Amino acid sequence: MTTINEMHQIFNLQKIQYDRAQPMTYEERVTVLNQIEALIRDNIPELITALQADFGQRDPLQILSADLTGPLATIAYIKKHLRKWILPAKQRSGLMALTGTKQYVYNEPLGVVGIMSPFNAPIDLALDPAVEAIAAGNRVMVKISEYTPKTAALVQKLSQQYLNEKNFAVVTGEADIAAQFSALDWDKLVFTGGSETGKKVLSAAAPNLTPVVLELGGKNPAVVLPDANKQMTAAKIARSRSGNSGQICLDTDYVLLPTDQLDEYVGLITAQLAQVFPTYINNSEYSAIINDRSYDRILGMLTEARQRGTRLITINPNNELVPDVKRRLIPLTLAINPDRDLQIARNEIFGPILSIFTYDSLDEAIAFINSHENR
């Protein structure tokens, strides 16, 4: 685990190493990109194992696709185009051309970039923006979510083996390290995560007037039109919501269905999910909830909805003893027309619950979305 003092030392080292007048050359940037690529390719089984250990149960194929292939694809694309990107771009001079004046745009690096990645895709959302920043000539420091400590520790260890801290470094630690990390005098700070934490990051960065990029979750709706292909639509909704047990910020958070098609879609979605996940316990393809706090939060949402009389449909085809607190497994649950003041209607769910609302006209559906909390 990184101490606050060690974090400051690495930050100061990168600040000293960065020189705006002499940014990293094309060759130096490609070298760092190759080192990150080797870090991933050489250690795919170890990275998958670490993430599975942090979750307790998670689909290895999902880890491969969601966490490891993205940075590799980005590196390949960047190396294909980087030489051209770093060249000055000639611009039209307008009337100034009559004087023989030529105009060029020079793309200059910013300096030292901080990146904070979330637990649901801790490697991808750390390394993907990192390779882009490095390609632009910046130095990079990464803080991986404390909710995935084994993954964070492994990526830190590997980065120390494959890279030089003056170019790229990983820091680990709990919330106190994250708070100090976001308060450093970055040239740019990138954060991916929840809205409430995003507010804290933005507040910590404000005294330094740090440019901040926030990639936050929210209430992502899906509107199903009356003439939609029902089988295909139900399959897409079911598979989207079940990925990583709903712990994906771009998942469908709630669905709007035509009132007269509700029961048919409920049957189709239930059948689709039962086919994809006939069992939950010891099913490596079904992800556990990341930690006890998140598990309790999701169960609290379901308990509140149940107490208020919400129609809840638990999809448990094998009649297993779930929710399972020891394994942090919660079955996929449909919540039909929950009251607007319930947590599952107001807050981002980020778990295996799909709220379904009905509408009678498209204008009504649009008005519902516009009046709904979206972050």
Catalytic site positions: 215, 249
Name which of 219, 317, 305, 226 is nearest 265 in CA terms.
226
Tell me the two tokens of residue 204: 């910590």
Phi-psi region of 111 (alpha: psi -120 to 50; beta: other; left: phi over 0): left
Residue whose tokens read 């599975």 = 52
Closest CA to 312 of 304, 373, 255: 304
The type of residue at 228 is A
| Residue 30 structure tokens | 């490609």
Inter-residue contact 288 to 57 (CB < 8 Å): yes
Show the DSSP H helices in 147-229 as ranges.
Answer: 149-162, 175-182, 195-205
Judge contact between 321 and 222, C-beta under 8 A: no
**Count of Cβ atoms closer than 10 Å to residue 147 Cβ:** 17
